Amino acid sequence: MHTGAQSPKGRWIEYVEGDPEGIVARGRSIESLGRVMQASATTLEQVKDGADGQKGLAVEKLREVVGDSHGLLRQAGELYEPTGPVLVAYGEALAGVQPKIKAHADRCAELWATFAALPGSVEPRGTGGWLQPEPDSPEAEQQAEEDAAKLAAYRAWEDEAGYWDADYDTWEEAFETAATDIGDVLEGKVKDGFWDNVDGFVAGLQKALSWAGLAVGILAIIFGGPILALIGGIIGLVALGLTIYQKIRGDAGWLQLGLAIAGVLPWGKLGKIAGGKFSFADDMFGGVLGATAWRNAGSQARELGFAYLFHGRGATGALGSLRQLATGNNPNGFGDVFLRLLTGKDVAAYEKLGDVTTGVLPALATASDLLHGLFAVPLKYDGWISMFTGHETIKKKVPVLDVVW
């Protein structure tokens, strides 16, 4: 929902999802099923041990088939029966607090709309200054009234948001209690297999790579250069490999895999393709598979090393290397940084755009590359910001944009 500002406790004001009646019913069913499973396990154990008094070849075959299955069935029943009441308790807590949270969220949306529509300022505006009304004038009186109304509207929203926070705390406590209680039931009884542990590691690594990509992306805007481009390409290639693994394991869908593949396609390099200068090794995955990117990165690394030695090693050498990193790929100074910030390309990249074969098709392809940069940059920044705010990105709302940009 995310209507208005964040709550006093720093949360986005939204509904709490879930079907309380369904959760309660499911909990009771699980508890009943757990008892039935344990009773069935007892029966199977009696059959296996011959305690039922039956004899014959058919019975012996049955006992052979039953084997130790009663143990697994009993273990499952012992997990199901105590889990059911936990779900029932959570469902009942959700039933009590969910309508309140929804009502507070709706009311907050109304109050915020009222607040946003009012003229004035929460912080009182001054008088007697530049472009300010004279003290004690009718305009100053009207300004004060507007500011007072604006402040009152904000405080009304803030009070309602506080009520939402309180009920959300109640729900959060119930949810955490349910999660803890279920964890206590399962503790030591259910263990992940090898591939389950690998799946968890891959999911964590994907998350780490997304943050690493953010850091490298910001540094690439400021410094540019082949080293950061190569690192970004490596991150993209590894992320694609992990997504393929997740698809094989059933942790990712075809859409997620398709978007990951589209992310490494040479969008923004149609001019080189049309001009016959595209190289798969050098233009895919940030050039990770080609020699050019590695050679350029090696040259930059040597330059940084020379700068480190030239400035006397130690802290002064490190500062010298940093200065070389900042200036070596920014011959136009802040102009290069500003262009990368707005369009994703520096001055040198724009000069290379003109180095294509003449003709209508190459010209159109080059124009599409320019438009690609102009549209891709804000979408990229939207994705970066969402890592901190948690909002739904434009690409998630319109997945087709993720294919091209």
Boundary (domain end) residue, out of 157, 186, 215:
186
| Residue 8 forms part of a structural domain | no
pLDDT-derived band at 95, boundaries 50, 70, 90: very high
pLDDT, one tens digit per residue, over 67-89 is 667 777 888 888 888 899 999 99
Q: Whole domain around residue 384: which residue ranges?
A: 199-300+329-404
Residue count (the chain):
405
- pLDDT value of position 29: 93
pLDDT cut 90: percent of the chain above it: 22
My answer on whether 150 and 272 are in the same domain is no
- Model pTM? 0.52
- pLDDT value of position 360: 59
Which residue type is seen at 51? A
- pLDDT value of position 304: 80
Count how many domains the chain has.
2
- pLDDT value of position 187: 72
| Residue 363 forms part of a structural domain | yes
CA distances from 181 to 69, 79, 171, 176 (A): 27, 12, 15, 8
pLDDT, one tens digit per residue, over 172-212 is 999 999 988 888 877 755 555 677 778 888 888 988 988 88
Q: Minimal CA–CA distance to 116: which of 160, 157, 59?
A: 157
Boundary (domain end) residue, out of 186, 208, 237:
186
My answer on whether 113 and 176 are in the same domain is yes
Measured CA to CA, the distance from residue 23 to residue 4 in angstroms comes to 31
My answer on whether 250 and 375 are in the same domain is yes
Instruction: Give the contacts of 331 (CB within 8 A, at least 6 positions apart).
Output: 347, 348
Which residue type is seen at 295? R
| Residue 349 forms part of a structural domain | yes
* 99 against 280, higher pLDDT: 99
My answer on whether 102 and 240 are in the same domain is no
My answer on whether 234 and 367 are in the same domain is yes
pLDDT-derived band at 102, boundaries 50, 70, 90: very high
My answer on whether 79 and 224 are in the same domain is no
Instruction: Give the contacts of 179 (CB within 8 A, at least 6 positions apart).
Output: none
pLDDT-derived band at 92, boundaries 50, 70, 90: very high
Measured CA to CA, the distance from residue 279 to residue 288 in angstroms comes to 12
| Residue 107 forms part of a structural domain | yes
- pLDDT value of position 4: 74
| Residue 28 forms part of a structural domain | yes
| Residue 319 forms part of a structural domain | no
Q: Minimal CA–CA distance to 225: which of 306, 285, 300, 308?
A: 300
Measured CA to CA, the distance from residue 162 to residue 152 in angstroms comes to 15
My answer on whether 101 and 163 are in the same domain is yes
Measured CA to CA, the distance from residue 160 to residue 9 in angstroms comes to 12
* 94 against 74, higher pLDDT: 94
- pLDDT value of position 403: 47
- pLDDT value of position 160: 95
pLDDT, one tens digit per residue, over 32-51 is 999 998 888 887 777 766 65
My answer on whether 89 and 180 are in the same domain is yes
My answer on whether 160 and 117 are in the same domain is yes
| Residue 85 forms part of a structural domain | yes
Boundary (domain end) residue, out of 186, 220, 239:
186
| Residue 9 forms part of a structural domain | no
* 258 against 193, higher pLDDT: 258
My answer on whether 171 and 260 are in the same domain is no
Residue 394 scores a pLDDT above 80: no
My answer on whether 242 and 371 are in the same domain is yes
248 within 8 A of 257, measured Cβ to Cβ: no
Question: Average of pLDDT values for 368-388?
Answer: 74
My answer on whether 165 and 217 are in the same domain is no
Q: Minimal CA–CA distance to 164: which of 300, 401, 6?
A: 6
Residue 277 scores a pLDDT above 60: no
Residue 270 scores a pLDDT above 50: no
